Every structure is written in C-alpha cells, then in structure tokens.
Amino acid sequence: MNETEVRERDEFREEMDAELPEAWMPQPGEVLVGTVKRYEQSETTYGPCYVCIVANEETGELTSVWLLQTALKSQFEKKQPEPGERIGLKYAGETQGKSGRAYHDYTLRVDRNPFSPWTKKPTPPPEPEVNPFDEAAYYQSEEGQAQLRREQEEAAEVLYGRQQR
C-alpha cells in the first residue's frame, strides 16, 4: 500500500468509530459551503434518515446535514451531490408555499462542470433499423445513400460507356 492508500484507510477507520459530526442548525440566510465527504443513514423517532457529512470550508470541521425537511431532501435528490463535490447550501427560513402551508426553504448548488468528461451523458436512442422494402426510408439511410451512389455510378458507366463505342 502506498502512503495515500494508508492515510485513506486510517481516515476511513476513524470515521467508522466516530459519532456523527455536529448538526448544521442554520438561521435564515445562513450558508454552508464545503465538500461532501460521505452519506450515512441514521435513525430518528420517525424512522431512518440520510445524513450528508460536509467538510465546512469556513471552519475546516465536519458538519452533519440531516435530510429531514422535504424541501432539503428534494434538493439533494434533484442535484445528487456526490462525495468529493463542493456544495453551497443556503437556508432561506420558513416560507409560505402555494398551498398555504409553511415549509423550510433551502437552495442547494453543486460546483460541478456539466461538460466534464466525468458527467454522465445521456445515451442517444439507437437508430431504428431501416426496412429495405420501404424505399423512401431506405434511401434516406446511410446504407441506402451508399446503394444509391453505386446504382448511379453503374448507370453512368453504362450510359457513358455506350456513347464512347
């Protein structure tokens, strides 16, 4: 094992023995900026809950972000920050929703280059197979275009070859 692997192994062992870091308890307008270290699952009186462990850039300490509120959990599900990615999380406070119900409003930003080679790119749908008996579709396909060129070359050879004799 090299030095980096040994350090990572030792850090992982420490994390396994450690309690969850102090929870982020923001006031309205407060922002947390840091790097996602890992996710854990913990128990609450209402059942299991995911906890995002963030290395706070301002303090250098690890902070637990409990994904309890629906709006917060929704932001994480939508943006899906992964370990190693830098995030910014802002608590706007309690807000009145369209339905009239109050909720805790959060904004999550993930510092991610959408055009990086590591970003998952959508796979284009496969090109439909062309039915060779459907002449219009066949001659619009790449294979049909190649066949059409061959036929035109043969026709030109026959036509011009006869004229030269």
- Per-residue pLDDT tens for 17-75? 568 899 999 999 999 999 999 999 888 888 889 999 999 999 999 999 999 998 999 99
Mean pLDDT of 151-163: 77
Q: Binning pLDDT at 50, 70 and 90, where does residue 162 land?
A: low
Task: Give me the CATH code for the 3-111 domain, please.
Answer: 2.40.50
Q: Which residue has the tokens 């709006």?
A: 71
* pTM, full prediction: 0.60
> Which residue's entry shows tokens 């999380």?
89
Half-sphere exposure of 48 (CA within 13 A, CB side): 4
Higher-pLDDT residue of 29, 15? 29
Q: Confidence class of residue 154 from pLDDT cuts 50, 70 and 90?
A: confident
- Residue 133's SS3 state is coil
Reading the block at residue 123, the tokens are 């796979």
- pLDDT at position 6 is 80
Range of weakest confidence among 30-39, 55-64, 105-114, 125-134: 125-134
Beta bridge partners of 66: 51
The two three-digit tokens of residue 78, written as one number: 């939508």
> Which pLDDT value is given to residue 121?
60
Average pLDDT of 131-144? 71
pLDDT at 34: 96
The domains of the chain are located at 3-111, 122-165
- Distance (Å, whole) CA 161 – CA 117: 54
